[in-house]
Amino acid sequence: MFLQFLFIASAFLTLACTIAVLVTKNLMHSCVFLLGTLIGVAGLYATLGADFVAVTQIMVYMGGVVILMLFAVMLTGGKDFVSRAQTLLGLPATMGNKWTYGLGLLVGVVFLLTNVKLLSNIITTLPTAEINNDFPSTVSRLGHLLVKDHVLAFEISSVLLLGALVGAAIIARPRKHN
């Protein structure tokens, strides 16, 4: 029952926020809707038993959206988004309406349920026991594949990332002006 509710809430959140990203014209609202979409996708991964991918989705992609919002504010001049009605009537800035509160509540519920699902796998299982779920945990399988079967690809990707890091440091170093 819990997994079905999490799946339905995550699917609805993902679809609603994806449509909102496409429809809205405000850059900040698009970033917030994208954040909701990524939370919904993490919830979908959690219902499928892909714990590692769900946590990666939360840590990497949602962190990237926060950085995206910061850069969006910096690149657009950081203007306060105030409507004409607020300036004409002298109203204080509102924190949202019934739709934004409802969407915020849905995002919070899906995020809470996703974290409960992910943490319940950690709390209820012993390190030697298999997860008592329809789908087993993917963390041990991914670790086994990366270290045993695909170790060459893993090492090549680490050398590639190291080369990109060194290249970025060389490009970003200060130049001497003569």
Residue 18: the pLDDT is 92
Q: Is 23 exposed, middle or buried (CB count within 10 Å of its CB: 0-12, 13-18, 19+)?
A: exposed
Q: What is the CATH number of domain 2-135?
A: 1.20.120
Q: Please give the DSSP secondary-structure letter assigned to residue 130.
A: P
pLDDT by residue for the chain (178 residues), tens only, comes to: 888 888 888 999 999 999 988 988 777 778 788 888 998 999 899 888 888 888 888 888 888 777 777 676 666 655 555 566 666 666 565 556 677 778 788 888 888 888 888 777 666 654 554 545 566 667 777 778 878 888 888 788 888 988 888 888 788 777 777 6
- Whether the full predicted model's pTM is greater than 0.75, yes or no, is no
Retrieve residue 28's tokens.
């900040």
Taking the C-alpha atoms of residue 68 and residue 62, their distance in angstroms, rounded to an integer, is: 10
**Collapsing DSSP states into helix, strand and coil, what is residue 113?**
helix
- List of residues 6+ apart from 104 with CB closer than 8 A: 96
pLDDT at 78: 52
What integer pLDDT is reported at residue 134 of this predicted model? 61
Q: How long, in residues, is the chain? A: 178
| Nearest of 34, 22, 29 to residue 64 by alpha carbon | 34
The secondary structure of residue 93, as a DSSP letter, is: P
